[in-house]
Structure 1
């Protein structure tokens, strides 16, 4: 990242992978950059004039400026995106008006029963008048306007605050009083033959997340009869706005993401849901972090997915403290396919196969025995494309080892019936893979049994029956794919924040993509079953909208606190990574509406945090504007983490002596005017936790009281130990986990 004059371009804060090559100037390649000038509100004409003027200082002509300029941000951000050579980027960075020049990068996308499982039934109490004025904005891959989840039967006109727009585009029929906004951003202007220049959803991801957060109530929804039930979002009466930034070929660009945040803030959304991977650990360079900060200043809460890079520690993304970061959890539902072998044995496989068998049994062959020739035998074990002999496969089920997704499609494509796939590499059997032909996945032990069976008789046979829904226990649990903490951006903030259903979630889908996306798949459905933290994120975004419908004036921090302090603790026996896997635990929507106390904070709290974390005042204007920030003169903050966060995390300093952490917190009474809260402390072995005072006595609503938590941890504790502070009144329980972490293990 280049910094403007006075901000000293001494080093790149983070090495960014640059995509979007658009030509050559001499021997230099042009790349996309985002140039930040601050956040002072400016009108569109003035912003465009300023941005063009700056760009003209490094370009030779008006035509060069026009060709280089990509986008002007002017609602909540004062910035522009442009195609530049590295030399031109450096020249811009040296100018007084320029705060920062950051190379553009591309990101990846990170979905009936889930709402009942977390305790938000259809009959839950609602403030329908307010809920109808809530707008949930999704920054995603687009939306399917004709879906039943977004019909506007019974909806009145959009709320008066709404400034958004929606037009008619290719394959996009327009908006209505439910789907009140739809825009797309493709600022690199590069063609994407697999996608459509329109807000329409080609991948199904955005449709799925949108309906999960705020979709209508749709009875009898299912995937070919599986997961049958009523599909709905957390706030079915709320409005939806889609900002398409993710494209099939290129992914999700920083430039587009920032444009979406800018537009959403101007349009008037109340909640932003973004299920896109953030790759920067620096809070002043990542587009999602920057966009969410500017949204927060306008009273908009941003909910983001934690990532699908688990179970590795330090893999959590979107971990800025002003973002509500969501891990995935599994519910009490599984999908199993029974395999019947010709020797009478029955085996249970994993995955979703919607095909009814046409025969009692099919001939069964091992992929290795169906090789095209001796040279392809090793590849044939994995049923790799081109390795199998069609004559040996025709009319048969094939036993394959898993190398990559789609073995059953290879078999089907050359005349086979389907595939039984063995894999110990497919560790996360909790995730139900959808098959485009009869298929199922089994573990290595079962796979070896099947392989031996194929060699034990001259006529091995088998049949894969249609998948059935089964009960799963224990639940909730955190699947292996969900990214884990500790927070790579700060040792003092627990991330992820919370867990929500993200495994095998049924929600609306697009008709423009088959269920698998594989060549030859003829399966299409109005609803599909997807897994990922992408699916967990809109659950929490929907809950945030639900809470806001009861408390329209609450700040993003207050809404976040209400959701976190009322969550249900999850079992460490089931989830060995504990809070680094699930944060505070499983979301509890109805309790979040009446939390009793909230940990509130404003923009200055985050600035104090960043200063204490070591960010220099010169790096902060990208977030707070061009006014100078002198971190040495800013109030130190609230203690070990300098932030009034609803959770507490202490990182051990060394292995020789105890580490002491002091956490100063302030809570606001949002419950009964006269109420008394007493502290209950649970401390793990080797840790002392004291709270002063132990009682908080409130006499009025919105009264604020402070307390101090002192944590003394011995150097001998395990890598992760967890205690808690619970404030209890006669009506409310307000829980904050206290995580003690030893980076040295």
Structure 2
């Protein structure tokens, strides 16, 4: 059995929840869910509370979990911004993770949700596996059918209005239903956001579909969808639509289970379609008050899943590399994030108390998105690998996950990533080594291993590093340093300042049961020539082999350039080592 460390129900059940559990909300069965490692034991350490969450509490929890002998720590929590320490690797949070790694614990950490801007990762160190998030091919498309036959797509996990779309209801803009003589503030929350039922005329909205507008309150986080649902229930509103506001632009909408029919229209262009139809169908008097509501609409069922389209795609929110070494974001010789896993719209268990999310109060399941949701997928896969290979060290597990990852989507095309307003071909700074491949990771053929002493040597080799800082942070002396930080034996090669030529070394170990012959090949980063020595080798079970990597600059590029080393085994093992290089330009005099 493998023991996990998890921080809340959603994360714990993703990593190690029971298999085949029915996901039932508001009387609707969404399917069945299973944890990644259903037979693993879970140890939960409560460190974050609804009122406060301190670094001290989280560090104490990690220490306690390590003392208790857990095999894996999954951290869907951490600092929300770069540390103020001189070196990112030496902040308190990363040092306590190093201590856990020293004790033989596999540490997996959410990369952060500040994407898609570069250098937004919040997982810095080589001893923790930083996880990026992607979507899957499952979506929950909602629809709004207007009285003129137009159909507008949207988002929402609710049932349809009565009649299942065949019967349409009066469409009312919240502004047009506000009580004329009401004694309440004339703020967006009362006037257009449907937050307060006392502001609306029940006679106007009863049995209607009401249009609420994404305005100041939603933009500032003070208005909620829960309040709209409550307003609909109190006033007998048949359903609601939350539309985008041109003043604030498109908004990001995630499927949320509504107890009443509801749909979010996050696109300003789609919101204008609804507005134009609405205005064409109503009549107003000279003061602008509506005298006749002629618009009609019905909300379709938003609970039925659809499986089509590109997948995986790196999620927009998922934090990006390159990794950085200090608060000034000078690049580091470490690839971050490390790996990609599903983290967009993940079903998992939820506490009905729901202290932090009133929209989900009373539910036993939640559909959530974030790198926090991707992280326990890797933790559960690591648990399976650990049970299958109980003698493997954390770095061996991390290597197996990285070198067997997939860089292509379900159509065989390169994985794409969501930018601010478009898709673009992703790079290792979006997905790390690629999308995790659990089955292949169980039998990787070769692994690259690093230990605690190697991490200390890595720290001591960092540019401008004072050995006294390493001693104060870790208690260790800088007796040995790597010739270059990129010589840390990781399942990737990252050089943040390549000038002329650089010779590096990686050491692989055969974890298979038979001798195997490997052919070495390389797809060099643009602007480089990469030579591998030896070009091929035969390696015995549990044997090791050094691989020298000579990288020469042939044409300096203006930005990071990527490639990979591929070791192809005679027993069908394929080991991929990602290459990332940034060229150094000479300083002008």
TM-score, length-scaled by structure 1: 0.66
Q: 2:119 aligns with which of 305, 308, 314?
A: 314
Unaligned runs of 5+ in 1: 1-132, 141-205
Q: Deviation at 1:408? A: 4.3
State the match for 2:146 in structure 1: 341
Q: CA deviation at 1:561?
A: 0.3
> After the TM superposition, which residues 470-619 of structure 1 pair with which residues of structure 2 at under 5 Å, given as runs?
470-489=306-325, 490-513=331-354, 516-518=357-359, 524-570=362-408, 572=414, 574-575=416-417, 576=424, 577-614=426-463, 615-619=465-469
> Which residue in the other structure is 1:669 paired with?
510
- Partners in 1 of 2:324 and 2:157 — Cα distance? 36
- Which blocks of at least 5 consecutive residues in structure 2 are unaligned? 283-293, 326-330, 418-423
| Whole-Å separation in 2 of the counterparts to 1:255 and 1:515 | 21
CA RMSD of aligned residues (A): 2.8
Q: Deviations over 1:484-543 (max 9, x none)?
A: 11112352111000011111111111122289514xx7x633222111111100000001
The answer to whether the Cα contact below 8 Å between 2:95 and 2:474 also exists between their aligned partners in 1 is no
Q: Structure 1 223/484 Cα, relative in aligned 2: closer, same or farther at 3 Å?
A: farther
Secondary structure of 2:382's partner? helix
1:244 aligns to 2:46 (yes or no): yes
Confirm whether residue 432 of structure 1 aligns to residue 255 of structure 2: yes
How far off its partner does 1:367 sit? 3.7
Q: Would the aligned equivalents of 1:428 and 1:481 in 2 still touch at CA under 8 Å?
A: no
TM alignment of 1:95-244, pairs within 5 A: 133-138=1-6, 140=7, 206-224=8-26, 228-244=30-46
Q: 1:362 to 1:488 in 2, by over 3 A?
A: farther
In 1: Cα distance, 2:199 partner to 2:444 partner: 64
Matches of 2:116 and 2:89, distance apart in 1 = 27
Count of aligned pairs: 531
Please say if 1:265 is aligned against 2:66. Answer: yes
Q: How far does residue 329 in structure 1 lie from its aligned partner after superposition? A: 1.0
Among 476, 486, 495, the residue aligned to 1:641: 486
Q: Structure 1 pair 355/262, CA: closer, same or farther in 2 (3 Å)? A: farther
1:381–1:400 CA contact under 8 A, matched in 2 = no
Going from structure 1 to structure 2, the CA distance change for 1:314 and 1:394 (only over 3 Å counts) comes to farther
Q: Deviation of residue 601 (structure 1)?
A: 1.0
Q: Is the 8 A contact 1:383 1:410 kept in 2?
A: no
| Cα deviation, residue 482, structure 1 | 0.8
Aligned equivalents of 1:280 and 1:394: distance in 2? 51
> Structure 1 578/284 Cα, relative in aligned 2: closer, same or farther at 3 Å?
closer
Structure number with greater CO (CA < 8 Å, separation at least 6) is 2
Residue 327 of structure 1 pairs with residue 132 of structure 2: yes
Alignment-derived partner of residue 289 in structure 2:
none
Would you say 1:364 and 2:166 are equivalent positions?
no
- Compare 705-714 and 463-472 and name the one that shifted more: 705-714
Partners of 1:411 and 1:418 within 8 A in 2: no
> How far off is 1:411 after superposition?
3.7
* Aligned CA distance change for structure 1 residues 313 and 384 (closer, same or farther; 3 Å): farther
Deviation at 1:556, TM superposition (A): 0.8
Answering whether residue 502 of structure 2 is matched by residue 688 of structure 1, we say no
Displacement of 1:271: 0.5
Question: What are the equivalent positions in structure 2 for 1:16-165 lying under 5 Å apart?
Answer: 133-138=1-6, 140=7
**Counterparts of 1:387 and 1:472, CA distance in 2:** 39
> What is the distance in 2 between the residues matched to 1:322 and 1:435?
42
- Output one character per residue of 1:14-39: Cα deviation in whole Å (capped at 9) or x when no partner: xxxxxxxxxxxxxxxxxxxxxxxxxx
Structure 1 window deviating more from structure 2 (280-289 vs 252-261): it is 280-289
Give CA-to-partner distance per residue, 1:317-354, whole Å, 9 cap, x none: 12211001101111110011121112222222123224
